[in-house]
Homo-oligomer: A and B are copies of this chain.
Amino acid sequence: MGNSFGRIFRISTFGESHGLGLGVIIEGCPAGLPIDEDFIREEMQRRKPGQSKITTQRKEEDEFQILSGVFEGKSTGTPIGLVIMNTDQKSKDYSHIADKFRPSHADFTYFEKYGIRDYRGGGRSSARETAARVAAGAIAKLFLTHYGITVQAFVSQVGDLKLGKSYQELDLAKTEDNIVRCPDPETADRMIELIDQVRKDRDTIGGIVSCVVKGTPVGLGEPVFDRLHADMGKAMLSINAVKGFEYGSGFEGVKMRGSQHNDAFYQEGNRVRTRTNHSGGIQGGISNGEDIYFNVAFKPVATIMQDQESVSESGESVVVSGKGRHDPCVVPRAVPIVEAMAALVLADHLLISRTNKL
């Protein structure tokens, strides 16, 4: 249990960091959708390690194969099976951590939960699993594009370096212009500098990814439990290293008064609009047609290049030493993952909403 996400547009992922391969089954993608493999490849490039000096220098081949569900370039309505082989899965030596629990990793909890664990590169708990999510998310994006819905994420904070502008003040098209994926060039430079410094300190740092969804129709979300933002929150909290989620006014909204926070309705042509959007495009758990926006908090990566106190499987005190290559800050590479998960949530709700009325 726990390896599937969604109800109609539903993904199931499998695979460990250093097994033979990983992959995903995408169920419920409606038939007739052109599947652009180049687009999937581009999305996966955005997540790929080694893409810049501020990401891990580890190399992974993310060549994928679609084994099923696509015929003559289009989805057929049957499950899309997609695999990514781990070409160099046997190349590394993990004996130094084979029986040690790395602090703030999942080594200890997996071991206790299952009584056995694949210690190589974190096994199933490795962020390598997110490659499959990005591939699936790319297909969800293709589906959403068909309905005019766009999902765009960007880095809005690294450490205490905040992008002090709302998304409306930014040109989000510039997000991919720099390696940290912050649409404000000046802030981007400072973020890159900070991450580079952290890397030199053999340390890591956290950050925030913000995301904006435009073009959502009114009516997505299934109260009372499967509210659109509840599913979105779960999707985000399921990403490695995420510690928090807020949408619309979020945690800042608690300081406001109702008279300030309420979004007045007005009519604009055929559409009911809101004057402000503290609701973040979702009211009562259902999209209202305004922009959906939310923030996702990522902790500093647990792998650091420093000695740390820990214990072994047999309960002895040990030192875990930093070794290998790692991301000093996860948020630049998390941008496409956040988008992928958001797209999957929206695709699923878009399909479910077809069943609401007679």
Q: CB < 8 Å: which of B113, B243, B317 contacts A250?
A: B243
A-B contact pairs, 20 of them (CB 8 A): A1-B28, A4-B27, A14-B25, A14-B81, A20-B68, A21-B81, A31-B357, A76-B114, A76-B123, A77-B114, A77-B356, A106-B284, A106-B285, A108-B218, A112-B218, A203-B259, A254-B298, A261-B299, A266-B311, A351-B355
| A32-B357, A104-B279 given; A225·B246 CB < 8 A | no
A124 lies within 8 A of B259 (CB): no
> Interface digits, A294-321 against B, CB 8 Å rule (1 contact, 0 not)?
0101111111101011110001110000
* Per-residue interface assignment for chain A, residues 325 to 358, with 1 indicating a CB less than 8 Å from any chain B CB and 0 otherwise: 0000000000000000000000000011111111
Copies in the complex: 4
A20-B66, A230-B235 given; 7 more Cβ-contact pairs under 8 Å = A1-B355, A19-B69, A22-B67, A74-B116, A204-B259, A229-B237, A244-B253
Q: Is the CB of B265 within 8 A of A14?
A: no
Cross-chain contact A311 with B206 (CB below 8 angstroms): no
Shortest C-beta distance, A126 to chain B (Å), equals: 10
Looking at A5-13, A37-45, A46-54, A164-172, the stretch in contact with chain B turns out to be A5-13
At the interface, yes or no: A288 with Cβ under 8 Å from chain B? yes
Could you tell me the distance between the alpha carbons of A146 and B274 in the complex, rounded to whole angstroms?
Answer: 36
Q: Which residues from chain B contact A291 at a C-beta distance below 8 Å?
A: none
**Counting CB contacts under 8 A, is A234 at the interface?**
yes
| Interchain CA distance A113-B31 in the complex, whole Å | 9
Whole-angstrom distance between the Cβ of A86 and the nearest chain B Cβ: 8
Tell me, yes or no, whether A245 is within 8 Å of chain B by CB: yes
Contact call B30/A12, Cβ cutoff below 8 A: no
In the assembled complex, the Cα of A22 lies from the Cα of B25 at a distance in Å of 11
B-contact bits for A213-239, CB 8 A (1 contact / 0 none): 000001101111111011101110110
In contact, B244 and A237 (Cβ under 8 angstroms): no
Give A37 Cβ to nearest chain B Cβ, in Å.
13
Please give the distance in Å from A43's CB to the nearest CB on chain B. Answer: 19
The reply to whether the CB of A121 lies closer than 8 angstroms to some CB of chain B is no
Evaluate contact between A106 and B67: CB separation under 8 angstroms: no
Give 6 closest A-B pairs by Cβ, nearest first: A106-B284, A2-B222, A244-B246, A206-B254, A14-B81, A204-B258
Question: Taking the complex as formed, is A160 at the interface, i.e. its CB lies under 8 A from any CB of chain B?
Answer: yes
